[in-house]
Amino acid sequence: MKKAILVVSFGTSFDETREKTIGAIEKEIAKEFPDYIVKRAFTSGVIMNNLAKRGIIIPNVVTALEELSAQGVTDVFVQPTHIIPGEEYDKLVSMAEGCKDKFGSFKIGKPLMWNENDYKNVSDFLIKEYGDTEKAVILMGHGTEHRANDVYLKLSDILESHNIFVGTVENKPDIYDVLNKTENFKNIVLVPFMVVAGDHAVNDMAGDDDDSWKSVMENVGRNVEVVLKGVGEYLPIREIYCEHIRREL
């Protein structure tokens, strides 16, 4: 019997942060589950195509599962590195379930923020790492029109009493909502609440364009620090993904 864990990420074309985050999560999983083959897949077609042009081939979910089946793998656990159970998670579940008949045992794990225990573990980590200082820490989440955007609102409610605020790039709360909530803070720290510190973190959060979060804050007189570290770089976050696997195996 051959067993495998397929680690599925949205992906990034930023090589250095990819290995510091996605690669680090995969290594942690391989260490915790040594009896399993650990394989990588991405869900972003744009990123996979961009990487392929540079000679870096990352399979999508279906291709990765077909490759595992061809290798004689009988038991598969699909673990996403996504933050929320949003559109990308729904997409990977749909793609993966189309291949489940190829395996004797087939399970799909949960994203980082799934249940109350996850909220506690993630918020405890964020408070320990960033909270309760005289600076306002602003976490940049991706945001989505999907109902799972409520994750960011709930997390913000937990963290705001510790001077940590959550905004999103593509929904509410946005940078202007967070700007209003932090009006009494002169000093701001911007941190990506994303697995990788990729394009959104480098450009939308920390870039020099007028509409970047850094520029918006500086233009109203705030002193801004930037932390370009995806949450995948932090061991406590990687351990949560491992716990999700352990809970369902």
**CB atoms inside a 10 Å sphere around CB 210:** 8
How many other C-beta atoms lie within 10 A of the C-beta of residue 30?
14
Token digits of residue 65: 């599962």
List 142, 146, 200, 244, catalytic entry: 142
CA distance readout (Å), 153 to 35, 111, 173: 39, 17, 7
Q: How far is CA 223 from the centre of its chain?
A: 27
**Residue found under tokens 């573990």:** 121
Half-sphere exposure of 184 (CA within 13 A, CB side): 4
CB 8 within 8 A of CB 80: yes
User: What backbone phi and psi angles, to 5 degrees, belong to 111?
Assistant: -70, 180
Q: How far apart, in whole angstroms, are the C-alpha atoms of residue 41 and residue 61?
A: 6
Q: Is 44 helix (H, G, I), strand (E, B) or coil?
A: coil
176: amino acid identity, one letter: Y
Active site residue 142: yes
Other CB atoms within 10 Å distance of the CB of residue 128: 11
What gap in Å lies between CA 20 and CA 231, rounded to an integer?
A: 10
Catalytic residues: 142
